[in-house]
A and B are shown apart, each in its own frame.
Chain A
Amino acid sequence: MREKLKHIFAHALINLIRAGWGGLASIATIGMLFLIIGIFLLMVLQLNALVAKWREQFHLSVFLEDRITQTQLEILEKRIQNEAAVKSIAFTSKQEALANFRRELKGQESLLEGLGDDPLPASFQLKIREGYHSPDVLKRLSAFLSRLEGVEDIQYGQEWIERISNAAQIMKALGIIIGLILTLGSVLIVSNTIRLAVYARAGEIEIMRLVGATKAYIRAPFLVEGMLQGSLGALLALGVLFVAYRYVAGTFKLASPLFSTAAQQGFLEPSMMAALVGGGALIGAIGSSLSVSRFLKM
C-alpha cells in the first residue's frame, strides 16, 4: 500500500514538473477561474451580510399627529399590535425623539436652536416579522396604517434593501454562469496538459498494461497530477483574493461607514475555502480522467 502511494505521488509530481509551462498554464487558468468565482462569491456574501444587517435593524416608523389623545394612542397601539406582520412595537414620545436626535447630532446641537420645543413627532417603531419584508406586503401594510386615526405619516427604507438583495441575486446568477463557462475551459485545459503527459509516457503505459497493471493503477498518478493542478490553482486564487481583499476592505472601511459591515464580514469562511480547493481538485480529476480514459481505450 505504501509502495503504491509512493508510486502514485512520485509520478504525479514528476509529471507535473515535466509538464513545465503546460502545467503552469493549467494552474494559472484554474487560478483565474477561481479568482473570478471568488470575487463573485465575496461580493454576494458582502451584499447578503449588508442586507441581513439592514433587515435586522429595519423598522417601520408610524409618525403620529401632534393632537392625538391618550385614548386614541392606546387604541391605535392595540390595532397595530394585532397586525400579523408586526413582530413588536415600541413607542417614542416627542421628548424622546428630540433627545435621540440630540444624541445623534452630538457636538452640533446648535443646529437645533430655533426649532422650538418639540419639532419632532411622536412615533411607533414597528419591527416586521420574517416573511413580511417584501415591498408589496409593506406597501399594503403602510397604506392600511396611514388610514388609521391619529397617524400622520409612514416611513420605511425597504426598497433600498430589496434592491440590494436583488443585486446580490443577479450577481449570484452571473457568477454561476461565468463560473460554469470557465469551469468547462479549465477542464479542457487540464485535460490537454494531462494528455501530453500521457503521451510522454505512452511507452511506459504500454509496458505496464502488458505486465498486468490494472487501469486504476495506470490512471492514479495522472488523476493525482490533475487534482494537484486543480487544487494548486484554487489555492493560488485564494492567495491573490485574500491579499486583494485585505487591501480593498481596508480602503472601504475608511471611505464609508456604510461598508463597515462589509469590512467586518471578513474573508471567505474556512469551509468555503476548503470547498473551492476541493472544487479545483475535482475539476482537475475530471480533466485528467477524460484524457486518460480516451488513451486507455485505444
Chain B
Amino acid sequence: MIQMYHVYKTYGKDLEALVDVSLHIQKGEFVFLAGSSGAGKSTLLRLIFRDELPTSGQILVNGRNLVRMKQRAVPHLRRMLGIVFQDFKLLRDRTVEDNLALVARVVGLPGPEGRRRVAQLLKLVGLSHKGKMPPYKLSGGEQQRVAIARALMNDPLILLADEPTGNLDLELAVDVTRLLLEVNSRGTTVLVATHDLKLAEEAGRRTVFLKKGRIVEEWP
C-alpha cells in the first residue's frame, strides 16, 4: 500500500530530516512509527500525503508514484487518505457534526448520505450524543475521536495519524489507540507516528523506529 525506496529529505543545505529510508507497508497493516521528536516521523507522514516532495528517492502510495504526480492529482490522492493530527485541527466555529459534514461536502457526498455517514461515524467513536456541541466543549480524548471520525468520512484506504495521543493522558491515549486498532480491523491500513514507546509495545503491532531521520530498528 505504501512503498518508500531510498527516500532522502533535506531542508536547506544540511538539515537532514530523512536519510535513506526504505519502508514497505502492506494493505491492511497497522504500523507504529516510533521515535523522539525531531526523528523525522512527521516529515515521513507529510511525504505520504504529499504535503512535501522527497529530495530524492521514490514513494508509491496505492500504486501511484508521488514524485511524478502532478499537483492537479494531489486532491485525488488525499481522498484515499485520512489524516489525524496531534492538535486535532477541529474548527471551533461549528458543531462536531458540521466539522464532519465539511468533509462530506468536499468529497461530494450528497446531503442525506453525508448526514447518514456523520451519524455512523459518531456512533463508531462513541460520540453520538455530542454531535451538536462545539468541539472546544469536549475533552481532549473526545476531540481526538472526533478528528478520527472526520478522517474516516471519506472511507480512506490509509489512515495516517501524527502523534494522535500526544496531547492526551494515558487512559485516553489507550482509548484512542484502541479506536485506531478497531479502524484497522475493518480493513483500513493505519500508520501511527508516536514518541510513546510503551503504547506501541502494548499494542503489539509492527513498529518502525526512526532516529535522526534513519530507520534504526524494527519490531517484531
Interface residues on A, range: 10 to 19
Cα A203 to Cα B102 with chains together (Å): 12
Option from A3, A211, A214 in Cβ contact (under 8 Å) with B110: A3
Are B91 and A203 closer than 8 Å at their CB atoms?
Answer: yes
Smallest CB-CB separation from A218: which chain B residue? B106
Q: Which of B29-37, B76-84, B136-144 contacts A (4 or more CB under 8 A)?
A: B76-84
Asked if A207 is at the interface of the complex by the 8 Å CB criterion, the answer is: yes
Option from B72, B92, B107, B111 in Cβ contact (under 8 Å) with A211: B107
Are A211 and B153 closer than 8 Å at their CB atoms?
Answer: yes
As a 0/1 sequence over residues 1 to 40 of chain A, the CB contacts with chain B under 8 angstroms (1 = contact) are 0011001000000000000000000000000000000000
Option from B79, B89, B150, B153 in Cβ contact (under 8 Å) with A203: B89
Question: What are the residues of chain A within 8 A of B76 when measuring CB–CB?
Answer: 212
Question: What are the residues of chain A within 8 A of B83 when measuring CB–CB?
Answer: 210-211
Option from A207, A212, A217 in Cβ contact (under 8 Å) with B89: A207
Are B75 and A212 closer than 8 Å at their CB atoms?
Answer: yes
Cα A207 to Cα B72 with chains together (Å): 17
Cα A3 to Cα B107 with chains together (Å): 11
Asked if A208 is at the interface of the complex by the 8 Å CB criterion, the answer is: yes
Option from A3, A204, A214 in Cβ contact (under 8 Å) with B111: A3
Cα A81 to Cα B110 with chains together (Å): 79
Option from B102, B105, B154 in Cβ contact (under 8 Å) with A3: B105
Are A7 and B78 closer than 8 Å at their CB atoms?
Answer: no
Q: Of A3, A206, A207, which is in contact with the most chain B CB atoms at under 10 Å from its CB?
A: A207
| A199-233, CB < 8 A from B | 203-204, 206-214, 217
Option from B72, B106, B111, B153 in Cβ contact (under 8 Å) with A213: B106
Cα A7 to Cα B105 with chains together (Å): 8
Smallest CB-CB separation from A204: which chain B residue? B91
Asked if B47 is at the interface of the complex by the 8 Å CB criterion, the answer is: no
Option from B74, B75, B92, B102 in Cβ contact (under 8 Å) with A207: B102
Are A211 and B154 closer than 8 Å at their CB atoms?
Answer: yes
Cα A140 to Cα B30 with chains together (Å): 97
Cα A207 to Cα B101 with chains together (Å): 12
| B99-116, CB < 8 A from A | 102-103, 105-108, 110-111
CB distance from A123 to the nearest CB of B (A): 77
A residues sitting closer than 8 Å to B (CB atoms) are 3-4, 7, 203-204, 206-214, 217
B residues sitting closer than 8 Å to A (CB atoms) are 49, 72, 74-79, 81, 83, 89, 91-92, 102-103, 105-108, 110-111, 150, 153-154
